[in-house]
Structures are given as structure tokens and as C-alpha cells.
Amino acid sequence: MKKYVLGIDIGTGSVKVTGVDYYGKIVAQESASYPLLHPQVGFSEQNPDDWVNATTKAIHNLLTLDKISAAEIAGISYSGQMHGLVLLNKNNEVLRPAILWDDTRTTKQCQLIEQQMAQHFIQITHNRPLEGFTLPKILWVQENEPEIWQQVKIFLLPKDYVRYQMTGQLATDYSDATGSVMLDINTQQWSSTICDQFHIPLSICPSLLHSSEIAGTISSEYAQISGLQSGTPVYAGAADNAASAVGAGLLQPQSVLSSIGTSGVVLKYEPDAQTNYQGVLQFEDHALNDAYYSMGVTLAAGDSLNWFQRTFCRHQSFAALLKEAEQSPVGANGLVFTPYLVGERAPYADAFIRGSFIGLDSSHKRADFIRSILEGIIFSFEDLMQIYQHNQHNFDTVISIGGGAQSPLWLQIQADIFNKKVASLMNEQTASLGATIIAAVGAGWYANFQDCTDVFVKTKKFYYPIADNVTKYQKLYPIYHQVYQHTRDLSFNLIQFRQQNH
Ligand SMILES: Nc1ncnc2c1ncn2[C@@H]1O[C@H](COP(=O)(O)OP(=O)(O)O)[C@@H](O)[C@H]1O
Ligand SMILES: O=C(CO)[C@@H](O)[C@H](O)COP(=O)(O)O
């Protein structure tokens, strides 16, 4: 048996390539970054070939610097940032930069979809049309770039383009397809109703694969530039949140995932295709066959801390900021932060809301600002947890993942605000681990995801609610919760002011 599988995680800021052995031990990991382009306010784009070049560089380093033998690689799979629109022409050439998940230019197109399809859209997709999703981006290109639209032969999602360049095969997987809001979740086929309604030829939708299904093999061209062996099996992979759920072992409904990455996610395994949160929460196919997950996304979770760091303390590490926050007590001395720095997706689908610090006092120190940011992000997650509670979904454990899960303070804040046991994992970068699990199952190392996660996913520590802190947060959360209603119109007027005066 060959020794390794590789997982490739196409993130928003960088690609991470992880090599693991049969026991899930990380034997090598390399990453490479790429630029994020903001040609206008609300626009967020990347060049698909930047993802490919960075992936090739990371793979090359894995083979040369970490001395992973290409001949010992049993299979490769992917996790990818969701929703990003990649458009190819008849020669499979990229027609324009990819429009990403955090791009908010498509409010008008979302309104059009709502007007034309209303409840029928939610019945088909179990989602509302929101700015981040792929369909409104397609409609934006139709309307604003007709010369590009005329040339479109196929659309792909980010990881699919990287896979295409490695194998020469065009396809997507079901978990990423649901994120386009063009898949009929009831029939598991591209929705001809949606495509017909918006004059989209069904032929531009890629063929569909299950996550651990073979999608092709490394082509001889890609073998030459990367150092991989041609013929190495490549498996379809999954949307990053589906891969993360796999990498956190979320294969059953008792637990909920809380992810603090650039964006933030509260995610729950859903066994039943009929579940419908009417689009307040997203509903997507899981990486497992015949399973689903729901989730709410806070657009700027870790990104709120990034903003604070690059604006006010550029030379301090995240670890140093987290240490400083320990000087501030529970409740940050009455300073409350809402993390709506780039608008919000859930529970408020609002591209115009913006963040705020409420209760600012001349006694507040920088530590209070940092702590209020950590708390505000978790309050925004609590807004999402409340939706599950209102739907009578009971769970006893929150599994915390993403870069923010490195901090014991942030883990304890979660236990205290959620009033639930919080588990941290040995490997909090679950999207890339999930991609390796998909490859390991695809390669036949394990019979199914459960068998593989039993070996690959390891809990590090549990954090338990501290009664006194829980009481304090139960007083503060209702105050946080009111800030959205009170700042909504103010934010809208301020955005208009910016647009008229920039
Ligand atoms: N040592 C740390 N302690 C707490 N939070 C951290 C630490 N390092 C990074 N972070 C947070 O994690 C976020 C990055 O998480 P990550 O999962 O790597 O994101 P992504 O995959 O979206 O790029 C940063 O934005 C930051 O807020
Ligand atoms: O839009 C979503 C999910 O719907 C995001 O979660 C993206 O899938 C990318 O997230 P990062 O992992 O880069 O924060």
C-alpha cells in the first residue's frame, strides 16, 4: 500500500497542501498565498490561475523540501472556498477573474430572483438568494458583461478549476453545487426551472460527482510541472465547510460546529433532506452521500480581529492580542462590538449593515476593544445557535475549529456564551484534514467516512461553562442582540453617504 494521501484546501487567502499517512498523522504541510482583488467597494475577486500556480508551488515544496515521494501518493482530494464563480470559454480558458463568496455587488440580482421566484426558489434550493451565492453572480455577468456572457461554455467553482488544471477533467461535486443555489436539492439535479427562468443554458452546469468519487488522474502535463506522478488518482473533494465538517468528525446530529476563520460558521449535520430553514440558514449537501448540513455565516469573524490588528497594532501577533484581551473582564467593561464590517449574511441577510462599538467610555483600554471583538463574534454565533434552539434541535457539544480555536480564552468565551461544552481538536484546520479524509476514503484506505474520522480526528480538550460568566453573558447578550435593529438604518444612510461622497 502507498504511504500518503494529499488534501488541497483552496482558501480565500492561501492554499494549504497537507500530506498525511494511514493514521492521519500530518507528515508534511505547505502553503502559498495569492492576492485578493477589490477593484470597487463591495467587489472581491481572484485570478483562478493564481490558485493553480500557488497550488503547484506548494506541491513542489512538499515533494522537494519535505521529501514526500510522489510514487507513494495514493490519492489527492480538495476542499475549496465556496460559491466563487469561475467562467470558461469553449477552449476552457478563464473569461474573467473569479467573483468570490464575500463579493456583495449582486443585491439587485438577488432582489430579481426573489421577485420572480419567491417561495418556489426556497422550495427548490432550501436557500434564499444571497449576494455571496453563485447564481446572482451569473446574473450580474449576464447584465453587466454581455460580451463575456456570450462566450461562456461552462462555470466551475474554485476547487474545480484547480482540479481541472491538474487532471484535464471538468466537474464539480454535490456539496459545492448546492452552494451555487442552482441545484434542486430534492432531485439532486441542476434545476432546469431556475436555469430556464434566468435564461441560463443547462449545458454550462458541470457534471456532478460525489466527494470521494474519482474525478480523474494527474495528467502528464501537470506531472511535468508539479513533480507528481501522472496517473495518480484524484477525487472530487468538497466545499470547504463540508470538508471541515468531515475533518471535525461531524457525521451525526448531536454536535454543532463553530468555526472562527476569516469568516465564521455555525454548522449542524442534517440527516433529512426535507429540513428547510426558509433560507435564514443555508442548507447544503454534505460530503457524505445522502446527508446534508445547515449553517449560518458571519462574514467577518476572524476578519474582524484582522481588521483591528492591521489598523491599530500591525506589529503584534494574534497570540499577543489574545494575551492582552485577558486583562479585560467578562463583558469587556461594558463595551459591545457587532462584527458587521462587510455587511452580514446570517441571521440578517444585509449587505448594508456595518459594525459598531457601543458603550464606548473614556476608561476603556485597548484590551477592552480586543475582548469586545472576541465576544461580539461569539454573540453573532449565539444569534445562530438560537435559531437551532427555536427549532428544538438539542445538542450537547460545540466543536470549535479554525484559527480562532487556537486560543484558550476564545474557547472559554464560547463555552460561557453558548452555555455548552466546547471541544477543541488536535488539528483545528479541519478543511484540509477533511480533504485528506475524502482522499483516504476515495483511495479505499477506509470503507467509509466514519471509519476514517475515528482514526484521523482527535479531540484535544473540553472547555466547560463557568456559571458566573454564563450569568454575566446572559445579561449582555440581549443588549448585543438589539444593536442590529438600532443601527440598521444608520448604517444604510452612512453607506449612501460614502457612495455619494467618495
Ligand atoms: N493564535 C491565535 N489565536 C486566536 N486566533 C487566531 C490566532 N491566529 C489566528 N487567529 C484567528 O484565526 C483567523 C484565521 O483562521 P483560519 O482558519 O486560518 O482562516 P482562513 O482559513 O479563513 O484563512 C485569523 O483571522 C485570526 O482572527
Ligand atoms: O461563503 C462561505 C460559506 O457559505 C465561506 O465560508 C467560504 O466558503 C470561505 O470561507 P473561508 O474559509 O475562506 O473563511
Q: How far is Cα of residue 343 from the mean position of the Cα atoms in its chain?
A: 16
Please report the pLDDT score of residue 151 as a whole number: 98
Q: CA dist 110 to 116, 120, 121, 132, 342, Å?
A: 10, 14, 11, 10, 17
Q: Is residue 430 part of a domain?
A: no
Give yes or no for residue 12 CB within 6 A of ligand 1. yes
Please report the pLDDT score of residue 355 as a whole number: 98
Give yes or no for residue 296 CB within 6 A of ligand 1. no
* Domain CATH code at residue 116: 3.30.420.40
User: Which ligand places an atom closest to the C-alpha of 345?
Assistant: 2
**376: Cβ–Cβ under 8 A, 6 or more apart, which residues?**
304, 336, 337, 338, 339, 480
pTM: 0.95
Q: Is residue 375 part of a domain?
A: no
Of the candidates 103, 160, 240, 285, the residue annotated as catalytic is 240
CB 257 within 8 A of CB 399: yes
pLDDT at 502 exceeding the cut of 80: no
Q: Which residue type sits at 381?
A: F
Q: Is 240 a catalytic residue?
A: yes
Q: How far is Cα of residue 384 from the mean position of the Cα atoms in its chain?
A: 16
Q: Is residue 187 part of a domain?
A: yes
Q: Is residue 327 part of a domain?
A: no
Q: Is residue 444 part of a domain?
A: no
Please report the pLDDT score of residue 117 as a whole number: 97
CB 136 within 8 A of CB 110: yes
Coil/strand/helix, residue 55: helix
How many independent structural domains does the chain possess? 1
Give yes or no for residue 142 CB within 6 A of ligand 1. no
CB 228 within 8 A of CB 70: yes
235 C-alpha vs ligand 2 centroid, how far in Å? Answer: 21
Please report the pLDDT score of residue 395 as a whole number: 87
Q: Is 1 annotated as a binding residue?
A: no
The complex scores an ipTM of: 0.97
CB 267 within 8 A of CB 246: no
Coil/strand/helix, residue 358: strand
Q: What is the pLDDT of residues 263-289, one digit of tens each?
A: 999 999 999 999 889 899 999 999 999
The kind and range of the H/E element at 4 are strand 4-10
Q: What is the pLDDT of residues 173-226, one digit of tens each?
A: 999 999 999 999 999 999 999 999 999 999 999 999 999 999 999 999 999 999
Q: Is residue 114 part of a domain?
A: yes
CA angle 332, 296, 10 (to 5 degrees): 100
Q: Return the CA Rg of the chain.
A: 22
pLDDT at 354 exceeding the cut of 90: yes
Give yes or no for residue 411 CB within 6 A of ligand 1. no
Task: Write out the residue range of the structural domain in which residue 37 sits.
Answer: 4-241
Cis before residue 347, ω within 30 degrees of 0?
Answer: yes
Neighbouring CB atoms inside 10 A of 52's CB total 22
Grid cell 483516504 — which residue?
440
Q: Is residue 485 part of a domain?
A: no
CB 31 within 8 A of CB 16: yes
Residue from 15, 342, 406, 412 to probe ligand 1 pocket by mutation (most atoms less than 8 Å from CB):
406
What cell does 196 get?
430556464
Q: Put residue 103 in one of left, alpha, beta given phi > 0 → left and psi -120 to 50 → alpha.
A: beta
CB 7 within 8 A of CB 48: no
Q: Is residue 295 part of a domain?
A: no
Q: What is the percent of the chain with per-residue pLDDT over 90, rounded to a whole number?
A: 94
Please report the pLDDT score of residue 253 as a whole number: 83
Cα separation of 497 and 487, whole Å? 15
Q: Give the DSSP letter of residue 328.
A: S
Smallest CA-to-CA distance from 332 within 382, 390, 379, 287 is with: 379
Please report the pLDDT score of residue 347 as a whole number: 95
**463: Cβ–Cβ under 8 A, 6 or more apart, which residues?**
408, 411, 412, 414, 415, 421, 422, 423, 424
Q: What is the pLDDT of residues 386-436, one digit of tens each?
A: 999 998 888 889 999 999 999 999 999 999 999 999 999 999 999 999 999
Q: Put residue 290 in one of left, alpha, beta given phi > 0 → left and psi -120 to 50 → alpha.
A: left
Q: What is the pLDDT of residues 453-468, one digit of tens each?
A: 999 999 999 999 999 9
Identify the bridge partners of residue 14 per DSSP, sorted by sequence position: 33
Q: Give the DSSP letter of residue 282.
A: E
Q: Is 82 annotated as a binding residue?
A: yes
